[in-house]
Amino acid sequence: MRYTIFGESHGPAIGVTLEGVPAGLALDWDFIRAELKRRAPGQDDTSTPRREADEVEILSGVFEGRTTGTPLCAVIRNTDTRSRDYSKLRDMPRPGHADYTGQLRYGGYNDYRGGGHFSGRLTAPLVFAGAVAKLALGERGVTVTARVSNIGGISEPTPEQARARILEAKREGDSVGGCVRCTVEGMPAGRGAPDFGCNVEGIFSQYLFAIPAVKGIAFGAGFGFAAMQGSEANDPFCLEGGAVRTATNHTGGVNGGITNGMPVEFEVVFRPTPSISKPQRTVSLSAMEERELVVEGRHDPCVVLRAVPVVEAAAALAACQVLGLD
Protein backbone atom coordinates (compact mmCIF):
# COMPACT_ATOMS: atom_id res chain seq x y z
CA MET A 1 0.00 0.00 0.00
CA ARG A 2 1.66 3.17 -1.20
CA TYR A 3 0.82 6.18 0.92
CA THR A 4 1.18 9.95 0.84
CA ILE A 5 0.76 11.94 4.04
CA PHE A 6 -0.31 15.57 3.71
CA GLY A 7 -0.95 18.58 5.90
CA GLU A 8 0.86 20.54 8.60
CA SER A 9 0.77 20.47 12.40
CA HIS A 10 -1.10 23.78 12.70
CA GLY A 11 -2.97 23.71 9.39
CA PRO A 12 -6.70 22.96 9.16
CA ALA A 13 -6.19 19.22 8.78
CA ILE A 14 -3.73 16.40 8.20
CA GLY A 15 -4.38 13.26 6.24
CA VAL A 16 -3.25 10.38 4.09
CA THR A 17 -3.96 8.92 0.67
CA LEU A 18 -3.53 5.14 0.41
CA GLU A 19 -3.23 3.40 -2.93
CA GLY A 20 -3.25 -0.33 -3.52
CA VAL A 21 -5.78 -1.08 -0.79
CA PRO A 22 -7.49 -4.43 -1.48
CA ALA A 23 -11.12 -4.05 -2.50
CA GLY A 24 -13.76 -5.36 -0.12
CA LEU A 25 -11.77 -4.88 3.08
CA ALA A 26 -14.14 -4.22 6.01
CA LEU A 27 -12.99 -1.27 8.12
CA ASP A 28 -13.25 -2.11 11.82
CA TRP A 29 -13.74 1.37 13.26
CA ASP A 30 -13.50 0.26 16.88
CA PHE A 31 -10.04 -1.13 16.11
CA ILE A 32 -8.99 1.95 14.11
CA ARG A 33 -10.06 4.36 16.86
CA ALA A 34 -8.26 2.27 19.48
CA GLU A 35 -5.04 2.43 17.41
CA LEU A 36 -5.31 6.21 17.11
CA LYS A 37 -5.97 6.57 20.84
CA ARG A 38 -2.73 4.69 21.60
CA ARG A 39 -0.82 7.46 19.80
CA ALA A 40 -2.94 10.42 20.86
CA PRO A 41 -1.38 13.29 22.88
CA GLY A 42 -2.61 14.80 26.11
CA GLN A 43 -3.37 11.56 27.96
CA ASP A 44 -0.90 12.08 30.83
CA ASP A 45 2.03 14.28 31.91
CA THR A 46 4.62 12.24 29.99
CA SER A 47 3.37 13.72 26.70
CA THR A 48 2.46 17.09 25.23
CA PRO A 49 -0.77 18.55 26.72
CA ARG A 50 -2.10 19.24 23.22
CA ARG A 51 -5.47 17.50 22.93
CA GLU A 52 -6.86 16.31 19.62
CA ALA A 53 -9.88 14.09 19.02
CA ASP A 54 -8.20 12.47 16.00
CA GLU A 55 -11.53 11.61 14.40
CA VAL A 56 -11.02 10.25 10.89
CA GLU A 57 -13.10 11.58 7.99
CA ILE A 58 -13.10 9.40 4.86
CA LEU A 59 -13.18 11.35 1.60
CA SER A 60 -12.85 8.50 -0.87
CA GLY A 61 -12.14 4.80 -1.27
CA VAL A 62 -14.82 3.42 1.09
CA PHE A 63 -18.41 2.55 0.23
CA GLU A 64 -20.93 0.92 2.56
CA GLY A 65 -18.23 0.13 5.10
CA ARG A 66 -15.79 -1.62 2.76
CA THR A 67 -12.87 -0.42 0.70
CA THR A 68 -13.51 0.04 -3.01
CA GLY A 69 -9.97 -0.67 -4.21
CA THR A 70 -9.56 2.90 -5.46
CA PRO A 71 -7.37 5.42 -3.57
CA LEU A 72 -8.48 5.75 0.04
CA CYS A 73 -8.22 9.34 1.28
CA ALA A 74 -8.75 10.25 4.93
CA VAL A 75 -8.38 13.52 6.87
CA ILE A 76 -8.05 14.35 10.57
CA ARG A 77 -8.94 17.90 11.62
CA ASN A 78 -6.58 19.95 13.81
CA THR A 79 -8.50 21.60 16.63
CA ASP A 80 -6.02 22.50 19.41
CA THR A 81 -3.24 24.71 18.04
CA ARG A 82 -1.19 27.58 19.51
CA SER A 83 0.73 28.99 16.59
CA ARG A 84 2.03 32.03 18.49
CA ASP A 85 4.42 29.76 20.41
CA TYR A 86 6.44 29.21 17.23
CA SER A 87 6.78 32.72 15.76
CA LYS A 88 10.48 33.12 16.51
CA LEU A 89 11.45 29.76 15.02
CA ARG A 90 11.21 31.14 11.49
CA ASP A 91 14.35 33.13 12.25
CA MET A 92 16.01 31.00 14.95
CA PRO A 93 15.79 27.27 14.09
CA ARG A 94 15.75 24.68 16.84
CA PRO A 95 18.92 22.61 17.16
CA GLY A 96 18.23 19.01 16.21
CA HIS A 97 14.94 19.84 14.46
CA ALA A 98 14.11 20.17 10.76
CA ASP A 99 13.38 23.92 11.05
CA TYR A 100 16.62 24.84 9.28
CA THR A 101 16.71 22.05 6.68
CA GLY A 102 13.03 22.62 5.92
CA GLN A 103 13.71 26.27 5.17
CA LEU A 104 16.57 25.31 2.88
CA ARG A 105 14.58 22.64 1.06
CA TYR A 106 11.50 24.81 0.48
CA GLY A 107 13.11 28.20 0.06
CA GLY A 108 11.63 29.65 3.25
CA TYR A 109 8.03 28.99 2.19
CA ASN A 110 7.52 26.06 4.56
CA ASP A 111 4.95 26.26 7.37
CA TYR A 112 7.13 26.42 10.49
CA ARG A 113 4.27 26.43 13.02
CA GLY A 114 4.53 23.40 15.29
CA GLY A 115 7.14 21.95 12.98
CA GLY A 116 4.77 22.08 10.01
CA HIS A 117 5.00 18.97 7.83
CA PHE A 118 7.95 17.73 9.93
CA SER A 119 5.88 17.47 13.12
CA GLY A 120 5.13 14.28 15.01
CA ARG A 121 1.50 15.34 14.56
CA LEU A 122 1.75 13.84 11.07
CA THR A 123 2.08 10.37 12.59
CA ALA A 124 -1.69 10.34 13.29
CA PRO A 125 -2.64 9.69 9.64
CA LEU A 126 0.24 7.20 9.46
CA VAL A 127 -1.33 5.24 12.32
CA PHE A 128 -4.65 5.27 10.46
CA ALA A 129 -2.94 3.94 7.33
CA GLY A 130 -1.19 1.32 9.43
CA ALA A 131 -4.48 0.25 10.99
CA VAL A 132 -5.90 -0.39 7.52
CA ALA A 133 -2.73 -2.32 6.67
CA LYS A 134 -3.10 -4.38 9.87
CA LEU A 135 -6.66 -5.30 8.89
CA ALA A 136 -5.41 -6.48 5.49
CA LEU A 137 -2.53 -8.40 7.07
CA GLY A 138 -4.91 -10.06 9.50
CA GLU A 139 -6.61 -11.76 6.55
CA ARG A 140 -3.21 -13.27 5.70
CA GLY A 141 -2.45 -14.39 9.24
CA VAL A 142 0.21 -11.72 9.80
CA THR A 143 0.37 -9.75 13.06
CA VAL A 144 2.49 -6.76 14.10
CA THR A 145 3.32 -5.96 17.73
CA ALA A 146 5.82 -3.60 19.34
CA ARG A 147 6.96 -2.58 22.81
CA VAL A 148 9.25 -0.07 24.49
CA SER A 149 12.68 -1.66 24.91
CA ASN A 150 14.63 1.34 26.23
CA ILE A 151 13.84 4.72 27.78
CA GLY A 152 16.62 7.18 28.50
CA GLY A 153 19.22 4.42 28.72
CA ILE A 154 17.10 2.08 30.88
CA SER A 155 16.86 -1.28 29.11
CA GLU A 156 13.49 -3.08 29.27
CA PRO A 157 12.00 -0.51 31.66
CA THR A 158 8.87 -1.18 33.65
CA PRO A 159 6.06 1.35 33.08
CA GLU A 160 6.98 2.97 36.40
CA GLN A 161 10.66 3.22 35.49
CA ALA A 162 9.84 4.69 32.08
CA ARG A 163 7.49 7.27 33.57
CA ALA A 164 9.98 8.26 36.28
CA ARG A 165 12.80 8.72 33.76
CA ILE A 166 10.67 10.86 31.44
CA LEU A 167 9.36 13.07 34.25
CA GLU A 168 12.88 13.52 35.60
CA ALA A 169 13.97 14.93 32.24
CA LYS A 170 10.83 17.06 32.03
CA ARG A 171 11.52 18.65 35.43
CA GLU A 172 15.00 19.56 34.17
CA GLY A 173 13.56 21.20 31.06
CA ASP A 174 15.09 18.41 29.00
CA SER A 175 14.02 15.32 27.05
CA VAL A 176 15.04 11.69 26.57
CA GLY A 177 15.08 9.20 23.72
CA GLY A 178 14.70 5.44 23.64
CA CYS A 179 13.99 2.35 21.58
CA VAL A 180 10.99 0.39 20.33
CA ARG A 181 11.31 -3.29 19.44
CA CYS A 182 8.86 -4.67 16.87
CA THR A 183 7.93 -8.20 15.75
CA VAL A 184 6.08 -9.14 12.57
CA GLU A 185 4.80 -12.71 12.85
CA GLY A 186 3.34 -14.90 10.14
CA MET A 187 5.53 -13.68 7.28
CA PRO A 188 6.00 -16.55 4.80
CA ALA A 189 9.50 -17.67 3.85
CA GLY A 190 10.99 -16.73 0.50
CA ARG A 191 9.70 -13.15 0.12
CA GLY A 192 12.08 -10.41 -0.95
CA ALA A 193 15.43 -10.40 -2.79
CA PRO A 194 18.99 -9.22 -2.20
CA ASP A 195 18.55 -6.47 -4.78
CA PHE A 196 17.88 -2.77 -4.25
CA GLY A 197 14.17 -2.08 -3.89
CA CYS A 198 13.30 -5.69 -3.05
CA ASN A 199 15.50 -6.28 0.01
CA VAL A 200 13.21 -6.94 2.99
CA GLU A 201 15.39 -5.05 5.45
CA GLY A 202 15.62 -2.17 2.98
CA ILE A 203 11.85 -2.03 2.53
CA PHE A 204 11.19 -1.96 6.27
CA SER A 205 13.92 0.63 6.79
CA GLN A 206 12.45 2.96 4.18
CA TYR A 207 9.08 2.99 5.94
CA LEU A 208 10.54 3.28 9.43
CA PHE A 209 12.96 6.10 8.67
CA ALA A 210 9.98 8.13 7.45
CA ILE A 211 8.85 8.35 11.10
CA PRO A 212 10.00 11.64 12.68
CA ALA A 213 12.87 11.24 15.20
CA VAL A 214 13.92 7.74 14.06
CA LYS A 215 17.72 7.68 13.79
CA GLY A 216 18.58 4.00 13.58
CA ILE A 217 17.23 0.51 12.88
CA ALA A 218 18.79 -2.84 13.77
CA PHE A 219 17.42 -6.24 12.74
CA GLY A 220 17.61 -9.25 15.02
CA ALA A 221 20.67 -9.04 17.26
CA GLY A 222 21.61 -5.83 15.43
CA PHE A 223 24.75 -4.18 16.76
CA GLY A 224 25.06 -7.07 19.20
CA PHE A 225 26.59 -9.05 16.33
CA ALA A 226 29.78 -7.06 16.86
CA ALA A 227 30.40 -8.91 20.14
CA MET A 228 29.43 -12.38 18.85
CA GLN A 229 31.34 -15.20 17.21
CA GLY A 230 29.87 -17.07 14.27
CA SER A 231 29.03 -20.04 16.46
CA GLU A 232 26.89 -17.73 18.61
CA ALA A 233 25.40 -15.59 15.83
CA ASN A 234 24.30 -18.37 13.47
CA ASP A 235 20.69 -19.57 13.77
CA PRO A 236 20.68 -23.41 13.66
CA PHE A 237 18.06 -24.89 11.34
CA CYS A 238 15.52 -27.32 12.79
CA LEU A 239 12.15 -28.88 11.99
CA GLU A 240 8.93 -27.85 13.70
CA GLY A 241 5.72 -29.57 12.65
CA GLY A 242 7.32 -30.53 9.34
CA ALA A 243 8.41 -26.94 8.58
CA VAL A 244 11.98 -25.65 8.45
CA ARG A 245 12.58 -23.18 11.26
CA THR A 246 15.57 -21.86 13.21
CA ALA A 247 16.30 -22.55 16.87
CA THR A 248 17.19 -18.89 17.45
CA ASN A 249 16.37 -15.72 15.53
CA HIS A 250 19.48 -13.57 15.70
CA THR A 251 19.08 -12.53 12.06
CA GLY A 252 15.59 -11.16 12.69
CA GLY A 253 13.83 -13.41 10.20
CA VAL A 254 15.81 -12.25 7.16
CA ASN A 255 18.76 -13.81 5.32
CA GLY A 256 20.16 -12.22 2.18
CA GLY A 257 17.28 -9.75 2.05
CA ILE A 258 14.77 -12.65 1.95
CA THR A 259 12.38 -13.80 4.69
CA ASN A 260 13.28 -17.17 6.20
CA GLY A 261 9.93 -17.94 7.84
CA MET A 262 10.84 -16.72 11.31
CA PRO A 263 9.33 -13.52 12.74
CA VAL A 264 10.80 -10.35 11.27
CA GLU A 265 12.24 -8.57 14.29
CA PHE A 266 13.93 -5.19 14.59
CA GLU A 267 14.60 -2.37 17.02
CA VAL A 268 14.20 1.32 16.23
CA VAL A 269 15.94 4.12 18.13
CA PHE A 270 14.32 7.53 18.64
CA ARG A 271 16.35 10.62 19.40
CA PRO A 272 15.38 12.85 22.35
CA THR A 273 12.81 15.48 21.46
CA PRO A 274 14.68 18.56 20.10
CA SER A 275 12.18 21.02 21.60
CA ILE A 276 13.43 21.55 25.15
CA SER A 277 13.13 24.53 27.48
CA LYS A 278 16.82 24.63 28.38
CA PRO A 279 18.75 27.46 26.67
CA GLN A 280 20.41 26.29 23.45
CA ARG A 281 22.75 27.84 20.92
CA THR A 282 21.34 28.70 17.53
CA VAL A 283 21.71 31.32 14.78
CA SER A 284 19.52 34.23 13.76
CA LEU A 285 19.12 33.64 10.03
CA SER A 286 18.13 37.27 9.38
CA ALA A 287 21.03 38.84 11.31
CA MET A 288 23.47 35.94 10.75
CA GLU A 289 24.46 36.13 14.40
CA GLU A 290 24.68 33.43 17.04
CA ARG A 291 21.82 33.64 19.53
CA GLU A 292 20.42 31.84 22.56
CA LEU A 293 17.10 30.06 22.10
CA VAL A 294 14.59 28.91 24.71
CA VAL A 295 11.85 26.88 23.04
CA GLU A 296 8.31 27.65 24.15
CA GLY A 297 5.09 25.81 23.49
CA ARG A 298 3.83 22.29 24.22
CA HIS A 299 6.16 19.37 23.51
CA ASP A 300 6.70 15.74 24.43
CA PRO A 301 9.58 15.19 26.88
CA CYS A 302 9.85 11.77 25.22
CA VAL A 303 8.17 10.51 22.04
CA VAL A 304 8.91 6.83 22.58
CA LEU A 305 5.76 5.82 24.48
CA ARG A 306 3.47 7.29 21.83
CA ALA A 307 5.71 5.96 19.05
CA VAL A 308 4.89 2.28 19.68
CA PRO A 309 1.71 2.26 17.50
CA VAL A 310 3.52 4.43 14.92
CA VAL A 311 6.29 1.84 14.54
CA GLU A 312 3.66 -0.87 14.23
CA ALA A 313 1.88 1.16 11.54
CA ALA A 314 5.02 1.66 9.46
CA ALA A 315 5.94 -2.01 9.88
CA ALA A 316 2.46 -3.10 8.77
CA LEU A 317 2.68 -0.99 5.61
CA ALA A 318 6.15 -2.39 4.90
CA ALA A 319 4.89 -5.95 5.43
CA CYS A 320 2.11 -5.30 2.92
CA GLN A 321 4.70 -4.29 0.34
CA VAL A 322 6.79 -7.38 1.05
CA LEU A 323 3.72 -9.60 0.71
CA GLY A 324 2.66 -7.85 -2.48
CA LEU A 325 -0.73 -6.70 -1.19
CA ASP A 326 -1.04 -4.18 -4.02
| DSSP letters for 70-111 | SPEEEEEE-----GGGGGGGGTSPPTTSSHHHHHHHTTT-S-
Annotated binding site for NADP(+): 39
For the annotated binding site for FMN, the residues are 117-119, 256, 298
Number of H helices, E strands in the chain: 7, 17
Provide the number of structural domains found in the chain: 1
Q: Domain range spanning residue 193?
A: 2-323
Q: How does pLDDT run across 299-313, given as a tens digit for each residue?
A: 789 999 999 999 999
CA distance 228 to 5: 40
pLDDT for 114 equals 80
Amino acid 44: pLDDT = 72
Q: Give the annotated binding-site residues.
A: 39, 117-119, 256, 298
Task: Please tell me the distance from the alpha carbon of residue 127 to that of residue 309, in angstroms, as a whole number.
Answer: 7
pLDDT tens figures, 213-227: 999 999 999 999 999
Q: Give the pLDDT score at 31.
A: 97
CATH number of the CATH domain containing 111: 3.60.150.10
Query: Structure pTM?
Result: 0.93
Q: What is the dihedral of CA 9, 124, 206, 315, to 10 degrees?
A: 170
- The pLDDT averaged over each successive group of 10 residues in the chain (326 residues) is 92 95 96 94 71 89 96 92 73 91 90 87 96 97 97 96 95 95 97 93 97 96 96 96 94 96 98 92 94 84 95 98 76
Contacts within 8 Å (CB) and 24+ apart, 243-248: 244/189
